[in-house]
Structure formats: C-alpha cells, structure tokens
Amino acid sequence: MPIPDRNIGVHRSENVPPRLEPTGVLSGLKIGPIVAGVVVDYVATYAAMFVWITLFVSRKLSEQGELSDEAIQKFLISTEGLLTAFAIGTLCTMLGGYVAGRRAKTLEIKHGAFVGVGSLILSALEQGISGSGVALPQWYVVASALAIVPAGAIGGYIAEYWSQMSFGRR
C-alpha cells in the first residue's frame, strides 16, 4: 500500500529508501587511526628534520666554515630553512593522514583531515609549552596553519585511492 508523502502530496511505495540526512562532523571517526596518524606525523617530522640537519645543513655550514649551534639556528630561521622545514612538515602530515586513512578503512579523507587538526593542536601546545626564544615569521606560522589540515586530507585521499586501486574495495 502506498504511503502518503506529506511534503509533496504524492504517494510513494514502501521500497523507497529514506531521505539522506547530513552526517555530523565527528560521525564515523575512529580515534585510534587519528592518534596513530598524529604520532606518525610527529615522529616522521622530527626524524626527517634530524636527517636534513645532519646530512645537509651541517655539511653546507661546514663547507662555509660556520658550523656551530648558532649558525644552525640562524640557517633554520632563514627563508631557505623555513621553506624546507615547511615542505618536510607538510609531507610528514600527508604521511600521517595516509596512515590514518589506511587504518580507518572508511572515511579516509576525513580521518586524514583530523590528523591535520590533531597535529595543529599538538603544535600549538608544543609551542606554548616550549616558549622558545626564536620568533618565527608570521607568514610561516600562517602558512603552516593553513596547510596542515589539507595536507592530512590529501594523505587520506591517497589512502582511499590506493585502497580502491589495490583491493577494489568499493
């Protein structure tokens, strides 16, 4: 027997699925994959920065005869140093988003984006607690804050893409 549709005044059969309703921002999220993604982001960022400083920055400064802690700090806050650190951080956030998306196995992009949110919060807390005397340029702080969530989402997108390609899951 047809069911009256109050919105239109037309009858529809019982086989019609219910209307799609929007989901909430947090619905479907799994905390474990997000935490794993944030941990991967932070560990990878610190490891990559260490390797970069050890292999490239130290070598460059020693060739110039300026290898000291002060020279390394000065280089790290130069435009070249900040842009390289920005690229490393962004790529590592993409890696964290990828890991979260693969572990979640659903809503990969959303999980990746929340890795960016978690990393942004953790970065803000770290900066507040450390209280380092080095003042970063405002453009770097703004660019980093604007890039971190999309970077995580791109990592989640890559996870979704690879899971579809390799497993034909969807």
pLDDT digits (tens, 9 = 90+) for 41-83: 999 999 999 999 888 888 888 787 777 788 888 888 899 999 9
Task: Give the pTM.
Answer: 0.80
CA distance 94 to 115: 9
- What are 10-29's pLDDT values in tens digits? 555 567 777 777 678 888 89
Q: Band of the pLDDT at 128, cuts 50, 70, 90?
A: confident
CA distance 160 to 136: 35
Residue 115 located in a structural domain:
yes
Domain residues for 112?
31-167
Residue 123 located in a structural domain:
yes
| 159 and 112 Cβ atoms separated by less than 8 Å | yes
The structural domain count of the chain equals 1
Q: What would the mean pLDDT of 27-41 be, rounded to a whole number? A: 95
Residue 159: exposed, middle, or buried by beta-carbon count in 10 A (0-12, 13-18, 19+)? buried
Residue 147 located in a structural domain:
yes
pLDDT for res 4: 55
Residue 37 located in a structural domain:
yes
Percent above pLDDT 90 for the chain? 55
Residue 12 located in a structural domain:
no
Residue 94 located in a structural domain:
yes
Residue 130 located in a structural domain:
yes
Residue 14 located in a structural domain:
no
